Structure 1
Amino acid sequence: MIKYIVIFILGFSFLQLIIALMNWVFGVRLIKKTNPNLSKTISILIPARNEEDNIGYLLSDLIETRDNIIEIIVFDDESTDKTAEIVEGYVLKDKRIKLIKSQGIDEGWLGKNFACHKLSLLAQGDYLLFLDSDVRINNKVIERSLDYVFNNKLHLLSIFPFQNMLSFGEKISIPNMNFILLSLLPLPLVSLSKSPSLAAANGQFMFFENKTYKEIQPHKLFKNSKAEDIEISRHYKKLRKSIHCLASVKDVSCRMYKGLPDAIQGFSKNVNYFFGNSHILAILFWLITTLGIIPILLAQSLDLFIMYIITIILTRIYISLSSNQNVLENILYIIPQQVILGIIIYKSMFNKRKNQFKWKDRII
């Protein structure tokens, strides 16, 4: 029995290694140079709720970007802090910036999905770029993204931002997102395969072709989804729309969560969506990647043990390189990262059972 378990664990680990290597070797990068296509326009759309610590930095980045951007619309989703006041100050600095204040959420909607849908109804650009308020933009990445979308005839481009991790708690939690994504999903196949299961997106940076977006109205379609970004990407694949997903572009960055409690609370909302919305598969993944070493040790083979350890370390190295993360830290923190992943999955299961998902002081 142990023999077959060991074979399964080693096979799964090798598969993770192959996928991680593929994502590093064949991962698509945005070109540094851009040929401005001034005939195409972009609407920047920002849903914001209690983002007084972040929104000013993003707007400062955006007002430095002139080409193609015809409007920057912020939807204040019933913030209880100074978010609206800060945005109003930037409205005076740049006539492209507009502030829309929520009049409440319609029944059956989640707040962010409702905000994104309302923003899309106001947008006039040829392309829609949805940005989270905690994102930072550098080095003409929006113009480069437009070039990439236009040249590849894409209906959707999504970018996983480079994650700024300052605390120990962030370093043992946030890398789990990339570990799951880049060891299970070959990102080059997102564009090459027609299978909806090979799809991914990150709501922090989603660049849509407007005409197709208006036809599909994806945020309305998934108005009550806690992982609307993933749902939208899969739906686009079902409709045979062209999408690409890029991992950790350094010119798009953010500090997603400020500390371990925020990270656990945030990831517990949607970790199961990485596994087809199945907590069973999430638990199985955690068991294999965390406790898989036990059957290897029970097999009493030094060669198998060394092979397994090398496979695990190489997988982490390739994922760290693809994510522009610190390689040494991700190797040293393997054990605490796996412990936190288990806590996130448990928290997700508990919240789902009790219907207690909470984000930005709102039950979702």
Structure 2
Amino acid sequence: MELIISIISSILLSISLGVLGIWIYFAIFVSKSLRYAPKLDKIIESKERVDVILPARNEEKFIAKCLDSLLKQDYTHLRIIAIDDSSTDNTANIIKEYARRDDRVVYLHAGEKPEGWTGKNWACYQGYLRSDADLLLFTDADSTFANNLVSLAVSKFVANSLDALTLMPRIQCFDIFTKITLPLLNNILYSRYSPLRVNDPKNKLGYFFGSFFIIKRSVYEKVGTHKGVKDELVEDGALGSKVKNAGYKLMMARAEEYFNAVWARDFHTLWNALGRLVAPLYANAKFTAIGIFLATFFLFLYPFISLIYSIIFQGIIENILLVVNIITCIIMLSMSIVQAINLRLNPLYALGIPIGAVIIVFGFLGGILNARRKGVRWRDRDYVYKVYKADGFQP
């Protein structure tokens, strides 16, 4: 029996050392990302016309705040094209009222989406058809902005001769499950989708945050518009990848001090958001999706399971395993505390990362299991995985 435990412990120690090495790498790279990622810094005079393309579906709780913050922008050459994506609540009426009061707001009804299109992509495409500005700013209806954000963003765009600019928001958290999950998940965001990678012309990774990206009209058209990613459930990532791979100059900058966005509004939308990332990928690339799930398990959940094991069983190998697991968990906790502070959350929420790890891992597993049976429900619509994909989630 002791021999079996010793063999198991040796295997677990090998895995734990590998996991520790990865978390050390994450800690170094995330630290570099936070320190060296470009930020919005100055305003220069610009007369570039900007059309904001704002799709909205059942956003009656958020759309007014979003429109208010856009109308308060100090950038003068701005028009807002707000597209109602067949909402079943009061969203359309709210947009119409704003359009009636202020001619900078244009109301547009997207109509029923054709088969093969996601609702958001169809709405964005309709907004583009209605626009005529040289710069297009795509954003989400649950985002809010500082009064000088557009001025700062356009200045960064012009000063760096960019083809596209995307900004990293501060994600708002409303429920306790999102508050304990997002700090852990943000560590992956700042490593895998780091501005240091996206801004490196030698790196193939291209990515947009759907809550804010500005793109030249000519570039948007050359990469196929949203029509080119019409069946994408992670359309912002897919579009950013197309822009980068086409050789255009793309920049990702930090802007947490200037605007907020919402990723998950409650546990249900958090669970669906996690599943939405991996489920369509499983439908098109099963082994890749399973690989992502296993990597997530070993990075997030395994250290806590292995820690419990190393406490229960005693021995030289188990003691070494215990030390390795403690160091790994301390790194995970420290990084999550930093991310919680960055999200303006109480750092104590970082103590819930074991629960956050369970939610992330089983959220991905649930997405894979759903992909075997059915589609995903997103924004009150059902999408079948054989029709829709998630290439924008770039593992």
Q: TM-score, normalised by structure 2?
A: 0.84
Cα offset, 1:25, TM superposition: 1.6
- 3-state SS of paired residue (2:268): helix
Separation (CA, whole Å) in 1 of partners of 2:361 and 2:280: 15
Aligned to 2:195: 187
Separation (CA, whole Å) in 1 of partners of 2:133 and 2:116: 28
Q: Deviations over 1:226-257 (max 9, x none)?
A: 01111111121211111122345232113333
Listed as ranges, the gaps of 5+ residues in structure 2 are 1-9, 311-316, 384-395
Separation (CA, whole Å) in 1 of partners of 2:366 and 2:254: 26
2:55·2:84 contact (CA, 8 Å) conserved in 1? Answer: yes
Question: Which deviates further from its counterpart, 131-140 or 158-167?
Answer: 158-167
Cα offset, 1:107, TM superposition: 2.4
1:316·1:327 contact (CA, 8 Å) conserved in 2? Answer: no
Q: Deviations over 1:15-37 (max 9, x none)?
A: 11112111122122211x41231
1:108 and 2:116 aligned: yes
1:183·1:319 contact (CA, 8 Å) conserved in 2? Answer: no
Aligned to 1:88: 96
Separation (CA, whole Å) in 2 of partners of 1:178 and 1:109: 29
Listed as ranges, the gaps of 5+ residues in structure 1 are none
After superposition, the Cα gap between the structure-2 partners of 1:90 and 1:118, relative to the gap in structure 1 and judged at 3 Å, is: same
Cα offset, 1:209, TM superposition: 1.5
Cα offset, 1:97, TM superposition: 0.9
Separation (CA, whole Å) in 2 of partners of 1:96 and 1:145: 19
Aligned to 1:353: 372
Separation (CA, whole Å) in 2 of partners of 1:271 and 1:23: 25
Q: Percent identity?
A: 24
Matched letter for residue 117 of structure 1: Y
Separation (CA, whole Å) in 1 of partners of 2:255 and 2:112: 34
- 3-state SS of paired residue (2:298): helix
Cα offset, 1:306, TM superposition: 4.3
Aligned to 1:156: 164
After superposition, the Cα gap between the structure-2 partners of 1:204 and 1:176, relative to the gap in structure 1 and judged at 3 Å, is: farther
Matched letter for residue 48 of structure 2: K
Q: Please, which of 52, 68, 71 is the counterpart of residue 63 of structure 1?
A: 71
Aligned to 1:281: 291
1:156·1:207 contact (CA, 8 Å) conserved in 2? Answer: yes
Q: Please, which of 239, 244, 247 is the counterpart of residue 237 of structure 1?
A: 244
Q: Please, which of 25, 28, 36 is the counterpart of residue 26 of structure 1?
A: 36
After superposition, the Cα gap between the structure-2 partners of 1:127 and 1:24, relative to the gap in structure 1 and judged at 3 Å, is: same
1:7 and 2:27 aligned: no
1:292 and 2:312 aligned: no
Matched letter for residue 212 of structure 2: F
Matched letter for residue 330 of structure 2: I
1:219 and 2:229 aligned: no
Matched letter for residue 42 of structure 1: V
Question: Which deviates further from its counterpart, 123-132 or 279-288?
Answer: 279-288
Question: Which deviates further from its counterpart, 279-288 or 49-58?
Answer: 279-288
- 3-state SS of paired residue (2:215): strand
Q: Counterparts in 2 of 1:330-341, with a 5 A limit?
A: 330-341=349-360
Aligned to 1:35: 44
The structure whose Rg is larger is 2
Aligned to 1:146: 154
Separation (CA, whole Å) in 2 of partners of 1:185 and 1:359: 23
Separation (CA, whole Å) in 2 of partners of 1:70 and 1:294: 53
After superposition, the Cα gap between the structure-2 partners of 1:26 and 1:216, relative to the gap in structure 1 and judged at 3 Å, is: same
- 3-state SS of paired residue (1:304): helix
Separation (CA, whole Å) in 2 of partners of 1:306 and 1:140: 45
1:253 and 2:260 aligned: yes
